[in-house]
Amino acid sequence: MLHYLKVWLASARYSIVRTLMFRGDFLVWSLVEFFWMSVNLLLISVIYRHTSTIAGWNKYEMMLLVGTSLLIQRFLMGFFWSSIFDLGRNVRTGNFDFFLAQPGNVMFMATTRKLDPDGLLNSIVAAGVVAYSARQLGLHPGFWDVALYAVLVGCGLVIHYSILILSVSGVFWLTSAQGIEGGYFTLAEFSRLPREAFKGVTNVLFVWLLPVVVVSNAPARVLLHGFELHWALWILALAVGWFALAVFVFHRGLRRYASASS
């Protein structure tokens, strides 16, 4: 683990140095993400001018939920997105050979090579939205509540990472997986909705089978309602299960990879 930490730190240092070489690009993308987050929050304000609750959630509870969803997605964009996005292109062009030649786990090397400081910078904004919403609601979470919230956010990040890996891994079997990759963003939109809004078939599909709703609802409920054992165990089991599935599919895909030299 120490070896992989050193490799990741070296990659992170390279990414930060490269970002500092193109400060204008960094500033523009940071502002783009910030405005995108602002639109999501502004939409909540507009909707709640016409209603007091949605599926039993008031305005600031919804802001806390959306802030949690944005926090997880900013971490995903900051730590993994660029590397995973490049993965499909590298497989198609044969440049994936570079990762096969490295002395380490291929999946780790291929999905952690780049760091996006702009995404990580806006994670501070998302965390600020969560803190502001909690203050408006008069919440006073204890140390263990905050710690459990952080753990469940980490589980949500693992689930998002796994789903994205599964989406991109389709490139090992298909000429292009861009359509499948786009499906990830469609599913991610559901993470900003309260679980109570889903009934019947949609509840089974998007809450219990596909973990797109649980990833943000479970952490948010910790701050709103305190520790709930069944939610914590469920999201932990989902994180382990989906990550194991992502690893399995990725390594099955490696067997089909035709390198640039073949």
Identify the domain containing residue 196 by its residue range: 2-254
Q: Which comes out higher in pLDDT, residue 190 or 216?
A: 216
Number of domains, the chain: 1
172: in domain: yes
Over range 229-233, report the average pLDDT: 84
- 3-state DSSP of the chain: CHHHHHHHHHHHHHHHHHHHHCHHHHHHHHHHHHHHHHHHHHHHHHHCCCCCCECCECHHHHHHHHHHHHHHHHHHHHHHHHHHHHHHHHHHHCCCHHHHCCCCCHHHHHHCCCCCHHHHHHHHHHHHHHHHHHHHCCCCCCHHHHHHHHHHHHHHHHHHHHHHHHHHHHHHCCCCCHHHHHHHHHHHHHHHCCHHHCCCHHHHHHHHHCCCCHHHHHHHHHHHHCCCHHHHHHHHHHHHHHHHHHHHHHHHHHCCCCCCCC
Tens of pLDDT, residue by residue over 92-151, are 777 888 888 877 888 998 888 888 888 888 888 899 999 999 999 998 888 888 999 999
Q: What was the pLDDT predicted at 153?
A: 94
Q: What was the pLDDT predicted at 183?
A: 67
Residue 261 has pLDDT above 60, yes or no: no
Q: What was the pLDDT predicted at 239?
A: 92
Most confident of the following: 35-44, 60-69, 94-103, 168-177 = 60-69
Whole-prediction pTM: 0.87
Percent of the chain with pLDDT over 70: 94
259: in domain: no
262: in domain: no
Q: What was the pLDDT predicted at 176?
A: 64
pLDDT averaged over every residue in the chain: 84
98: in domain: yes
261: in domain: no
Tens of pLDDT, residue by residue over 153-208, are 999 999 999 988 988 888 888 766 666 656 677 777 777 888 888 888 877 787 77
Q: What was the pLDDT predicted at 181?
A: 59
- If pLDDT is split at 50, 70 and 90, which confidence band does 245 have? very high
212: in domain: yes
260: in domain: no
Residue 86 has pLDDT above 70, yes or no: yes
190: in domain: yes
Q: What was the pLDDT predicted at 178?
A: 61
